[in-house]
Structure 1
């Protein structure tokens, strides 16, 4: 088993490209399943697109073999995204970084802990990581190994939250954007009218942030006509599809969280003084809106540049926690693999033993002599297995499990099957 991740984020790719890449992964998990890929998880946020993929590899595979296999699958993924997005294959291929196995786990733990976010330490990403694996499970694309990886990532994020001051100020993309709105607005939130585009989790977080700041007059607009259902659960007032323009005229602050396929153009925006926060992964508003008189447009790029820095001490402590967690996870994964090898060796040896014992019973019957021979043979086999078992643990500690598995194949022809989480346990996760 090999797990690798392809990462395109705000740290290396502009946000518009991230949005276009995200548009290109619709249907990708199903395509990968048709290509006989074991499992996949898509993590898509306003600042990043990450694809986690599990593929079967022989236990004794070399790093070169794995790298070649990952590259081959990655090329298929890049080709799919290029065909389903507006980007060229060369742009897609150069937008992603690749992390394999231990490095993939370390990266996920770092991301889940908020250390790679535009607002370092923000807590929204932890929920997004949980939703990504939950969605993959519900759709049948998550393997037991991917579930275990994401569960440990979420656990590591909780450790960071509990043991450091990282994120204690509640900073997030939404909170920084609302702070920027404060800088260009005259009134306070208690006297502002807000209009939110969208009904997803991001819009829900925005609604909560607005209420925390004292905003009571909040309207919600949904192109998919889900505003009424959304506001029944979250509060606020739904805007009918034919009442968008009057709602925008009334609003002091308009917040885009939906990522509609058609951004609103300046001629669709009412004249007058107002702040527009475009926080959607794909724009809700055309960039030309920024040129309108009395309109202040705040984008994700504005938020990224304005995001406050966390203390170096908190970041360093968080990275120490992540490093320890990823090292522990890697060690346990190696132990899982070597456990499978030990089980295979024991099963092979006990099979040989049972064959020989059948001969003894056939020759001596079931008397005392046969029992003594059986007792002696079992003690001998137990002693013979002791050193290979201890050596397996030692090699696992050294990261040489593959050498051990290859030796079993070469010496005994033993085919070590990779450990898998049972379906019952996988569903329980």
Structure 2
């Protein structure tokens, strides 16, 4: 069995596709039912958030599981096979394990370090357990990922990274355009990172706040909460021209602000200075905007340079280190678990041989003292343990590499092995 991560998230998928991949109770149930019926999927869990629709599954056959999950998603949502081909985020084996840990830690979130994903993952696990489609492997994986996520939030300052990025961007913008108390700020997007940016700007005392978002209702909700105003996307040209500071984080794979958009805005502004802060990955604002006169453009790389050496953010690097160590430990435990039936079968076969030979010795040497018999028994067991040590270690190593099957075949043929409850 190997882990498969299958689905859509903000890193590879535009919001328009994510919206079509969103699951209601009916479509969620349909995907779960299809996964349960698949002969190639033994366990599965579905995580569905505003920026993520993913299935984590223990699978026996990669291609069969992918085909079944493809059918499940395309038949229960408006997602097409073309969407899957272009935007599907797929991880397998060790990479899938690492992905789940990164998700739980908030390292894969649009707003880096956000902790809401912990509760969402915990709820998905609880549902999977109650409905019987999460077994021991997935339970162990997700529980460990959740513990690692909690450790990351308690031992690092990752929670503050997103806020630090926004603060650093606003500090630089203020140096360029002047006091934020006199500035008009435009926020493009209404997701978690955009909401954080808008909230931070208001707390810094900006003069005016405008929000533009594809889903106008979400933009209105964010703007009203912060005392700003919301505009539909078809009015973004005027909004750009009016804004002294533009902050964008839409989560889309396309550009929110093109070079032509920014140039037109500068013409209307008569060259007055303007700052653009791009918090999106991939980027929302055309890189060429930085070449326009009177404009400063700050991306995530620039902000990372400000917050840490060599473009890294110390809190993120510390979190990655914790997650990396946890993934390594989990893979070791997982490998030992996968190799356990092979190891048990090998040792069981050896034990049967030992017991048979000791019985034969008893028959041939009935006068042997109990002390001598016990010493011979210990010696034979020591020899067997030493002989089996390296094959046992090798089985675990090959399980980590995903090549245990070849080793099992060889052992089965050489020693006529059978696992408990059936053949290997």
TM over 0.5: same fold? yes
Counterpart of 2:316 in structure 1 is: 315
Counterparts of 2:134 and 2:376 in 1: how far apart (Å)? 48
Counterpart of 2:35 in structure 1 is: 32
1:52 pairs with 2:56:
yes
SS of 1:40's equivalent in the other structure is strand
State how many pairs are aligned. Answer: 318
Q: After superposition, where does 1:317-356 map in structure 2 within 5 Å?
A: 317-356=318-357
Counterparts of 1:88 and 1:369 in 2: how far apart (Å)? 78
Query: Which consecutive residues of structure 2, in runs of 5 or more, have no partner in the other structure?
Result: 164-189, 207-213, 224-229, 240-247, 253-277, 281-299, 308-312
Counterpart of 1:96 in structure 2 is: 88
Counterpart of 1:140 in structure 2 is: 132
1:290 is displaced (CA, Å) by 6.0
Counterpart of 1:117 in structure 2 is: 109
Contact 1:361 1:370 in 2 (8 A): no
1:416 is displaced (CA, Å) by 4.4
SS of 2:65's equivalent in the other structure is helix
1:15 pairs with 2:18:
no
1:384 is displaced (CA, Å) by 2.5
Counterpart of 1:4 in structure 2 is: 4
Counterparts of 1:375 and 1:22 in 2: how far apart (Å)? 68
1:93 is displaced (CA, Å) by 4.1
Compare 106-115 and 368-377 and name the one that shifted more. Answer: 368-377
SS of 2:98's equivalent in the other structure is helix
User: Structure 1 pair 9/408, CA: closer, same or farther in 2 (3 Å)?
Assistant: same
Contact 2:158 2:316 in 1 (8 A): yes
1:276 pairs with 2:279:
no
Contact 1:3 1:52 in 2 (8 A): yes
Per-residue CA shift, 1:362-413, capped at 9, x if unaligned?
A: 5666x54688457525522431331322442256347466154333212112
Q: After superposition, where does 1:269-418 map in structure 2 within 5 Å?
A: 275-277=220-222, 302=250, 311=307, 312-361=313-362, 368=368, 372=372, 375-377=375-377, 379-393=379-393, 396-397=396-397, 399=400, 402=404, 404-416=407-419
Counterparts of 1:264 and 1:346 in 2: how far apart (Å)? 62
User: Structure 1 pair 373/174, CA: closer, same or farther in 2 (3 Å)?
Assistant: same
1:175 is displaced (CA, Å) by 7.6
Counterparts of 1:162 and 1:372 in 2: how far apart (Å)? 59
SS of 1:122's equivalent in the other structure is coil
Counterparts of 1:417 and 1:103 in 2: how far apart (Å)? 30
Per-residue CA shift, 1:187-215, capped at 9, x if unaligned?
A: 99xxxxxxxxxxxxxxxxxxxxxxxxxxx
1:125 is displaced (CA, Å) by 1.1
Counterpart of 2:156 in structure 1 is: 164
Counterparts of 2:420 and 2:160 in 1: how far apart (Å)? 45
Query: Which consecutive residues of structure 1, in runs of 5 or more, have no partner in the other structure?
Result: 57-68, 189-262, 267-273, 279-286, 419-429
What is the RMSD of the two structures over their aligned residues, measured on CA atoms? 4.2
SS of 1:118's equivalent in the other structure is coil
1:71 pairs with 2:74:
no
User: Structure 1 pair 361/344, CA: closer, same or farther in 2 (3 Å)?
Assistant: same
Contact 2:45 2:56 in 1 (8 A): yes
Counterparts of 1:26 and 1:156 in 2: how far apart (Å)? 29
Counterparts of 1:162 and 1:138 in 2: how far apart (Å)? 29
1:160 is displaced (CA, Å) by 1.4
Counterparts of 1:370 and 1:93 in 2: how far apart (Å)? 71
SS of 2:19's equivalent in the other structure is helix
User: Structure 1 pair 177/407, CA: closer, same or farther in 2 (3 Å)?
Assistant: same
